[in-house]
Amino acid sequence: MATQPPGQRKLQILQALAAMLEHPKGEKITTAALARRLEVSEAALYRHFASKAQMFEGLIEFIETSVFGLINQITERQPDGLAQACDILAMLLHFAENNPGMTRVLIGDALVGEDERLQQRMNGFYDRVELALKGALRQAAADAAAGSAAAAGSAAAAAADGDERDVAARAGLMVAFVLGRWHRYAKSGFTLAPAQDANTQIALLLR
């Protein structure tokens, strides 16, 4: 590790932390435990991160950059509002499935007992996801207003009637659905895949 550039060292620390999060019943996550895993001193960790909270912030930054980058790709390539919402929900579920350790950060489980600003940042993450879903549903309203309400289904039709409360309620329900799937995945010991059989449930949410 000593011969690696600083950026690579920071990445290795974050990867080790994420790997430890995949074993919630294992060793308590402390800087000492993390240092043992990496076979370095705690002082070596603090040369790259001022605190454990800053390490978790690094994981959250990775989550934010990855998820919102993918949301931007979805909205850019997919003009249909309901299809955007469907793709965003599926992406969120697959992201957790591909990053099990990160899932414990996503649901806040790994942040219990840590600096409260970390959970506040995750709360902001949920708000941004909900905002993206609202945007997709508003796009569905525009699709419906353009004459596609019959094909788009009741979600678009309701939004087309100008009911912003419906848009907000549906977006909130979608976020709750994703959080529930993430939570079940983490609490099952990462055995119940969040995307398993999710397509049918997502279709029901978007009716």
- The DSSP line for 80-142 is -HHHHHHHHHHHHHHHHHH-HHHHHHHTSGGGTTS-HHHHHHHHHHHHHHHHHHHHHHHHHHH
- Locate the domains of the chain by residue range: 56-206
Highest mean pLDDT among 37-46, 68-77, 142-151: 68-77
* CATH number among 1.10.357.10, 3.30.70.270, 3.90.1150.10, 1.10.150.130, domain 56-206: 1.10.357.10
pLDDT at 145 over 80: no
Confidence of residue 1 (pLDDT cuts 50, 70, 90): very low
pTM for the full model? 0.86
pLDDT at 183 over 70: yes
How confident is the model over 51-75, as pLDDT tens digits? 999 999 999 999 999 999 999 999 9
| Residue 185 exposed, middle or buried by CB count within 10 Å (0-12, 13-18, 19+) | buried
Higher per-residue confidence, 175 vs 164: 175
Confidence of residue 155 (pLDDT cuts 50, 70, 90): low
pLDDT of residue 140: 87
